[in-house]
Structure formats: structure tokens, C-alpha cells
């Protein structure tokens, strides 16, 4: 019995091994500080919880339409108007089981096997693995500080080839936390349009931004795919609800595919998400955003002080991708030792691509300030001991 | 901008047009009886609702492990022992967003593009469309009353060819409600094993059975993929939670794919499903099963009395696939007229394949007995008026 060949191209999350070891250590009584996990420790905002509970208690947890609850699609359309001054007809909006469901639909309706997609390296590995799922090809474009670790129109010009059909931009980015500037995003969209290509814009960290300049690709074109989610900014990770916006020409195919591969997205999560745009929820989310902003500043300052190199200050999401090459030429080994000796878990660069990954560590500031602060003390002690040994 | 070529092969649900027309008529004030919908009107059992609500209220709706909650996987393993006397290690059990998620994983880890899969015709159209999603090929095997509308070892012998790699069996079947006999299932598994092929066993209607003889493919082999779900028997449609059991060799790849394409299944649905195996829940489900059994008997008797031909008495699920060729040689037109003149919605055979589909209508007995009874009165009036006109 043979595993499908696409599975060779799909990489596991290397951090899982580290996480398994962390859990082993915890089971032995060790106190572990987790800065490897991309899930905030905030609870879901209360109005969302209340809406979900009320819906379930009413007792009729039934399928919704495949494209999602019309009233939720409408609220998302309203949000695009309020936030970005962009009009999106609800026919182009599909509710999905998280951003992963949105990627499944977007790539399923638009990529043929053999098509090539340009991705920044580093990038979030799942995004790349969806491309492999459909037997399409990934072309990594190494990105550096000069473009804030984002693709640029110049890079597209250099790397676009005969089989290239699409690009994927994630801003704010996981793992770098950097954003693509609006003018550059517009240029990229223009470039892709001239090549009759597609753009997938991963906007799942929108809202979690601590500098101005975050723009939706929809601000420049209605011929793009936009992936978003209630997981990160809205604090609904475990609920698994997100959305996809498609160019109008793809709406019928997207609906057909959603009918077949989802039937519909989890109903109580959709009804709960109706409360995501309430004034009370948004006020709570703004408080959290400010809190994340403080944590970013704190972590950024500490990592710099300890001697890490962070050429571009992260502007969003909840990650810092720090160059640790002054301490080690093998970030995976560094992360393993840090876990073993100090009980601090961080993610090695290997999970995010091939471009100098051995130089980098990703720190997630998803825990409490006390937690992050204690983590920095452990990191400092670890580095001191390395330097004296 | 071109839609991916796989989307040409993926069919829409034709019943959606009919459903849209039914809703239009309802908006105009017409009273419509729905016998086209594969979703029971029962609510989710109370212990499951309570478990879901308690989990959400606790406030920590976070990601679970990609393979699912270990305690839910364990309960499923226990259930296989209690119900089928089969031992399934939890490493082979994956919690998924409904049976659709289970199909995504099963086919994603095992089918290469170009592989051919044998399917009965008629069959449930989504199953086929998952095969197209991965650019694999569907080969329809027309099935008739002689095999209870199921595949058989003889049919496999006739249709298996060089590119054939797998078969899919759904028992009890949608749309026919028929089951494959245990001895025949065993023969099919033996046949597939001798060809180094794969078997996908769709067991989502297990539990909803009104005759003896329903067996899991796992009773005969641990080298099969079994797809199941909490949707139908356990009354959890909108919750979107199901499971997949894979041969042990596929566990690592399945876990890797689940990490990437789901992150995890909706957490509150998993915690709610923990109560699905409670004594109180199972007692309620047994009552419902008996209720479905009465509805099946009632609908079956009425359709026969009205002159429909149903060569194999359905033994499970909640569908009767009735031959209406004595009234019409175009079941789609029959269904449209039935909706327009009598306000009774049923699904034409076209949604389930190519094999004499114009002869068949699918009746779902998911509504109340009063509803079904009223539907039969309307059907009788419609047929009388056709015969006198």
C-alpha cells in the first residue's frame, strides 16, 4: 500500500517534535515556557461565546447553506466597507472552516496540477502544502530585509516563468510579522494582472497590526483571492471559521466546490461569529491589539538587547523572526538546547522554508507579559552560559 | 481567468435548483413538503448539547491536536469494540470536520492523479467529486436490484482494469438505502487485497439500520479506509464532526495532512461529541432509530401501493429510491411538476449518477410522520391527475 506521491512534498511541522519533547518534560515536572505556539492565550470575546451558546441551546444545529449564513456574509461585506472602504458583493464571500478551508477552496477552483505558484521564503508552511495537495508546484522566492521579507514587483519580474500562474502574499506575515507596503502590493497586483495570473492574499493577521500601512488586496483589485479568518484577530481559533473572497467569475465554481467538500461550515461557529462585529467585541479586540503591541515592543527590545539581529521591526501578527547566527549556526540545535537546559520553547526557522533557515528562530508573543518576561530571563541565562562555555 | 479543469468534472447538486424553486414558492405563501432533504428534523440529543455548551462557557475554545481529542478517539475505539468486536488502535483514528473531511484525508493520502476508482451507480455524488478533486478518475459501475444496488466481487472482477486502484462502497447507501451483505463485503475486500488495491468504506449511515446484516469493513480487514460521522445517526449535522480510520501504514501521512488542511476539527463539536456515547444519548438514538424504521415501513408501503417499483426493500439510512417509470420517463420533469402542482419536493435520480437515473426519484423520510403522510396524499393526487389527464 503506497502513500500518494503528493505526500512526499508535504512537509510535517518540525516544531511538533519540539512540542512533543516539551510535553514530555512537562510530564516530568519541568516548567516550560511556550513561545513556539501561534495561538493567543486570550479567551474568545464574551459576546461571541454568548451567541454560540444561545444558538446551540435553541437545539437546531443544522446545516447552513454551503456558502455560509447570508447574514454573516453580509456582516463581512459591511466590515470591508467600514474598514477598507471596499465594496464586496456577498456573492463573492464564502464562509469556510477556518483559513485552511478558504485555501482549499481558493486553490481547488483555480490551480491545475503542474501550475507554479510563487511564494516568499520564509513563509507559513501550510500555505505551501495546499499547493502540493493539488499537485501544483511551489517556487520559493528568497526574501530579505530589503523588501521586509515580502515579495515585491521586482522579485516577481525576476522569478515569473512560463509555468508560473499565481503568487501568494501573506501580510502581516508568519513568521516575520512584517507587512507589504500598500504601493508595493498594488504594483504586485498590477504585475500579476499583466501576466493573466492570480494573486492569493493571505490576510489572516489583519487587525493584529501595530504600525500603519496594512491594506487589503481588495483595495486595488476585485480580481484577487483574499483569505481571512476569525481565528487570530477575533480570538476564535478552535471554532474553525474563516472566509474567502473570490473574483466574481469564480463564485459559481467556489459554491459548487464548497457544497461538495464541506457541505457547510460548522453552524454554531457561524452563529457565534455574527457577534464578532458587535461594538462590545470590537472594543475588546482593540484592547487586545494594544496589549499585543506592548508585548511586541517588549520582546523586540529584549531580543535586540540580548544581541539578536532583527533587521525589520515586525509590524503585525504575534511573531518575531530573529537572527540568532551570532550565537549558533544551527537554529534547530539552538532551540533544542534552549528547551532542554532552560525549558523555553521557540520554533526553529526550518519550519518556514529553506532560505537561511538555520539562522532564525521564531518567537511567538501569544502568552502573558509575565510569561514573555520570564522567557527572556531564561534566554539571557542560556546565552550567557553559551558564551562563557 | 480560468477555473481549474477539475471543476468541469465536479457536478453541482441538481436538487439545489429544485430547492431554490421550493423556497421561492414558500416565499409566495405556498406550503411545501420537503422530502428532498437528507437532514433529519430531530434536534441534537440533549447530553451532546449540554456538553458543547459547557465547553464553550468555560471559555477556552482552542485548537485541539490535529488528529483530534485523544479522549474522543478513545471513545470511538471503544465503540468499535462494543458494536463490532473490532479492535482499532487510536493511532488509526482521526477526527475530521464531518465525513467530508474524512474523505478529503483518505483520498488525499492515498490517490494519485490518474488513479481510477470504482463506484456504484447510483451513488452519492459528493463521494465521486472528492475523487475528481485530486484529479483521479471515476469509473461508474451500474448496479441493479440483483446486487441490492451495491458493488459485488463479480462486478469488481468485470470492471477492474490496469489503472484501477481503489473501490468505494457505501452501505447503507444514499440514495438506495440498501446494504451490502457481510459475506459479499468480505469477498470484495478479498478481491481488492489480491489486486493490491484500496477500499474506502463509507459507513456514515451505520446505526440507522432496520434490518440485520450491517457490518463494518473493519470486521474483515485492518487494511481499509473507513469513513464515518456524527452527523446522521448521532444527530449532529451542523456540528461538522466525523472520523476516519486508516490502515496503520497511512497514519503518519494522514496526521501530516490533517495538520496542514484542517489544523484541527472544530473544538466545541469534538467536546460535544464526547457525550455521543453516553447511555442516555444512545437510548435516545435507539428510540429515533425505531421511529425511522416505522417511517421507512410507512413510506415503503405507500409508494408500493401507489404503483412505484422498489425491487429491494431499503434496509437503512433514510431514503427510498423509487422507480417512477410507470408514471413518467423523465423523473426530473416529474419532480418539477410534483413541486409546482402539489408542493411536494423530492430529489430526481439525476443527482445520483447516469444509470437509468431518469426512472428514479429519491424520497427522504427525515420529516415527521404527519409530514410524510401528507406528502403521500399529495403524491397520490398528483398521480391520479396525471393518469386521468
Least CB–CB distance from B237: residue in A4, A62, A261? A62
Q: How far apart are CA B4 and CA B138, in angstroms?
A: 18
What does the pLDDT look like over A295-310, one tens digit per residue? 999 999 999 999 999 9
Looking at chain A, which residue has its C-alpha nearest residue B260?
A126
Nearest CA-CA distance, residue B17 and chain A, Å = 12
A297 touches A190 (CB < 8 A): no
B259–A12 C-beta distance less than 8 A: yes
Looking at chain B, which residue has its C-alpha nearest residue A99?
B262
Nearest CA-CA distance, residue A236 and chain B, Å = 7
B38 touches B175 (CB < 8 A): no
Helix (H, G, I), strand (E, B) or coil at B120: strand
B6–A100 C-beta distance less than 8 A: no
ipTM of the complex as predicted: 0.95
Looking at chain B, which residue has its C-alpha nearest residue A42?
B60
B97–A240 C-beta distance less than 8 A: yes
A133–B268 C-beta distance less than 8 A: no
Q: Is B121 left (phi over 0), alpha (psi -120 to 50) or beta?
A: beta
Q: Using an 8 Å CB-CB cutoff, list chain A residues near B112.
A: 4-6
What sign results for the dihedral spanned by CA atoms B145, B147, B150, B151? Answer: negative
Q: How far apart are CA A290 and CA A302, in angstroms?
A: 18
As beta bridge partners, residue B141 has: B120
Looking at chain A, which residue has its C-alpha nearest residue B232?
A62
Domain boundaries, chain A: 5-43+281-388, 48-278
Least CB–CB distance from B104: residue in A223, A261, A266? A261
Q: How far apart are CA A79 and CA A82, in angstroms?
A: 5
Q: pLDDT per position in chain B (389 positions), as tens?
A: 789 999 999 988 888 788 889 989 999 999 999 999 888 888 999 999 999 999 999 988 999 999 999 999 999 999 999 999 999 999 999 999 999 999 999 999 999 999 999 999 999 988 999 999 999 999 999 999 999 999 999 999 999 999 999 999 999 999 999 999 999 999 999 999 999 999 999 999 999 999 998 999 999 999 999 999 999 999 999 999 999 999 999 999 999 999 999 999 999 999 999 999 999 999 999 999 999 999 999 999 999 999 999 999 999 999 999 999 999 999 999 999 999 999 999 999 999 999 999 999 999 999 999 999 999 999 999 999 987 76
A63–B253 C-beta distance less than 8 A: no
Q: Using an 8 Å CB-CB cutoff, list chain A residues near B113.
A: 113, 135
Give B48-278's CATH code, choosing from 3.40.640.10, 3.40.50.1970, 3.40.50.1220, 3.40.47.10: 3.40.640.10
Q: How far apart are CA B51 and CA A66, in angstroms?
A: 26
B126–A260 C-beta distance less than 8 A: yes
What does the pLDDT look like over A185-221, one tens digit per residue? 999 999 999 999 999 999 999 999 999 989 999 999 9
Count CA atoms closer than 13 A to B70's CA, side-chain side: 0
Q: How many secondary structure helices (H) and strands (E) does chain A include?
A: 13, 12
A12–B108 C-beta distance less than 8 A: no
A263–B4 C-beta distance less than 8 A: no
Cα–Cα distances in angstroms (integers) from residue A78 to residues A74, A81, A87, A93, B10, in the given order: 6, 5, 8, 12, 32
Rounded to the nearest 10°, the torsion over CA B231, B234, B239, B240 is: -30
List of E strands, B106-152: 116-121, 137-142
Given strand B347-348, what is the order of strands in its sheet? B319-323, B360-364, B347-348
Nearest CA-CA distance, residue A270 and chain B, Å = 10
Nearest CA-CA distance, residue B329 and chain A, Å = 28
Give the pLDDT score at A342: 97
B129–A260 C-beta distance less than 8 A: yes
A110–B4 C-beta distance less than 8 A: yes
Nearest CA-CA distance, residue A302 and chain B, Å = 29
Q: How far apart are CA B48 and CA B215, in angstroms?
A: 26
B61–A44 C-beta distance less than 8 A: yes
Looking at chain B, which residue has its C-alpha nearest residue A1?
B196
Cα–Cα distances in angstroms (integers) from residue B181 to residues A27, B184, B205, B210, in the given order: 48, 5, 15, 14
> CA B183: distance to chain centroid?
22
Peptide bond into A355 cis (omega under 30): no
Give the pLDDT score at B14: 80
Least CB–CB distance from B257: residue in A7, A39, A269? A7
Q: How far apart are CA B125 and CA B142, in angstroms?
A: 14
B59–A43 C-beta distance less than 8 A: yes
Q: How far apart are CA B3 and CA A182, in angstroms?
A: 28
Least CB–CB distance from A247: residue in B1, B53, B239? B1
Sequence-distant (6+) residues with CB within 8 A of B213 are B179, B181, B182, B315
Count CA atoms closer than 13 A to B34's CA, side-chain side: 18
Give the pLDDT score at A389: 63
* Residue pointed to by grid coordinates 512534498: A9
Nearest CA-CA distance, residue B386 and chain A, Å = 34
Q: How far apart are CA A151 and CA B155, in angstroms?
A: 54
Sequence-distant (6+) residues with CB within 8 A of A68 are A93, A94, A95, A96, A243, A264, A265, A270
B111–A239 C-beta distance less than 8 A: no
Residue A193 burial (CB < 10 Å; 0-12/13-18/19+)?
middle
Q: What angle do CA A359, A360, A363 make, to 5 degrees?
A: 160
Parallel, antiparallel, or unpaired: how do β-strands A344-345 and B225-229 relate?
A: unpaired
Residue A135 phi, psi dihedral angles, 5° rounding = 55, 30
Q: How far apart are CA B373 and CA B198, in angstroms?
A: 43
A104–B240 C-beta distance less than 8 A: no
A266–B238 C-beta distance less than 8 A: yes
Nearest CA-CA distance, residue B233 and chain A, Å = 14
Give the pLDDT score at B389: 63
If you count residue pairs, one on A and one on B, with CB atoms under 8 Å apart, how many are there? Answer: 213
Sequence-distant (6+) residues with CB within 8 A of A10 are A129, A132, A133, B256, B257, B260
What does the pLDDT look like over A34-60, one tens digit per residue? 999 888 889 999 999 999 999 999 988
Nearest CA-CA distance, residue B263 and chain A, Å = 7
What does the pLDDT look like over A162-187, one tens digit per residue? 999 999 999 999 999 999 999 999 99
What's the CATH number for A5-43+281-388?
Answer: 3.90.1150.10
Nearest CA-CA distance, residue B268 and chain A, Å = 7
The yes-or-no verdict on residue A344 having pLDDT over 90 is yes
The yes-or-no verdict on residue A155 having pLDDT over 90 is yes
Q: What angle do CA B38, B44, B48 make, to 5 degrees?
A: 140
Sequence-distant (6+) residues with CB within 8 A of A17 are none
- Give the best residue of A8, A37, A49, A97 to mutate against chain B (max B CB count within 10 A): A97
Q: Using an 8 Å CB-CB cutoff, list chain B residues near A61.
A: 43-44, 49, 236-239
Q: Using an 8 Å CB-CB cutoff, list chain B residues near A260.
A: 10, 100, 125-126, 129-130, 133
What does the pLDDT look like over A107-126, one tens digit per residue? 999 999 999 999 999 999 88
Nearest CA-CA distance, residue A241 and chain B, Å = 8
Looking at chain B, which residue has its C-alpha nearest residue A44?
B59
Q: Using an 8 Å CB-CB cutoff, list chain B residues near A126.
A: 259-261, 263
Q: Using an 8 Å CB-CB cutoff, list chain B residues near A106.
A: none
Helix axes B98-110, B125-133, angle to 10 degrees: 40
Amino acid at each position: 500500500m503506497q502513500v500518494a506521491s503528493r505526500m512526499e512534498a508535504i512537509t510535517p511541522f518540525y516544531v511538533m517534535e519540539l512540542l512533543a519533547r516539551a510535553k514530555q518534560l512537562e510530564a516530568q515536572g519541568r516548567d516550560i515556557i511556550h513561545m513556539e505556539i501561534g495561538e493567543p492565550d486570550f479567551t474568545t470575546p464574551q459576546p461571541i461565546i454568548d451567541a454560540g451558546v444561545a444558538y446551540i441551546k435553541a437545539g437546531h444545529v443544522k446545516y447552513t447553506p454551503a456558502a455560509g449564513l447570508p447574514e454573516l456574509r453580509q456582516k463581512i461585506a459591511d466590515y470591508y466597507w467600514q474598514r477598507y472602504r471596499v465594496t464586496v458583493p456577498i456573492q463573492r464571500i464564502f464562509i469556510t472552516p477556518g483559513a485552511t478551508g478558504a485555501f482549499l477552496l481558493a486553490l481547488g477552483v483555480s490551480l491545475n496540477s503542474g501550475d507554479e505558484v510563487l511564494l516568499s521564503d520564509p513563509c507559513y508552511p501550510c500555505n505551501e502544502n495546499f499547493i502540493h495537495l493539488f499537485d501544483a508546484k511551489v517556487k520559493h522566492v528568497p526574501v530579505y530585509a530589503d523588501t521586509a521579507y515580502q515579495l515585491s514587483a521586482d522579485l516577481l519580474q525576476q522569478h515569473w516563468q512560463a509555468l508560473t500562474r499565481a503568487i501568494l502574499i501573506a501580510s502581516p506575515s508568519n513568521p516575520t510579522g512584517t507587512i507589504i507596503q500598500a504601493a508595493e502590493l498594488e504594483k504586485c497586483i498590477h504585475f500579476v494582472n499583466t501576466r493573466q495570473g492570480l494573486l492569493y492574499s493571505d490576510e489572516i493577521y489583519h487587525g493584529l497590526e501595530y504600525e500603519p500601512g496594512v491594506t487589503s488586496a481588495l483595495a486595488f483589485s476585485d480580481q484577487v483571492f483574499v483569505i481571512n479568518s476569525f481565528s487570530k484577530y477575533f480570538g476564535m481559533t478552535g471554532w474553525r471559521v474563516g472566509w474567502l473572497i473570490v473574483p466574481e467569475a469564480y463564485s459559481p465554481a467556489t459554491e459548487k466546490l464548497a457544497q461538495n467538500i464541506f457541505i457547510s461550515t460548522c453552524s454554531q461557529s457561524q452563529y457565534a461569529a455574527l457577534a464578532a462585529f458587535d461594538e462590545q467585541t470590537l472594543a475588546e479586540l482593540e484592547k487586545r491589539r494594544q496589549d499585543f503591541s506592548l508585548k511586541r515592543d517588549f520582546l523586540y527590545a529584549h531580543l535586540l538587547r540580548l544581541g539578536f539581529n532583527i533587521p525589520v521591526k515586525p509590524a503585525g501578527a504575534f511573531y518575531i523572526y530573529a537572527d540568532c547566527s551570532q550565537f549558533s549556526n544551527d537554529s534547530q540545535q539552538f532551540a533544542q538546547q534552549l528547551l532542554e537546559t532552560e525549558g523555553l520553547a521557540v520554533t526553529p526557522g526550518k519550519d518556514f522554508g529553506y532560505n537561511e533557515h538555520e539562522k532564525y528562530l521564531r518567537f511567538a508573543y501569544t502568552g502573558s507579559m509575565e510569561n514573555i518576561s520570564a522567557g527572556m530571563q531564561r534566554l539571557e541565562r542560556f546565552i550567557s552560559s553559551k558564551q562563557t562555555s
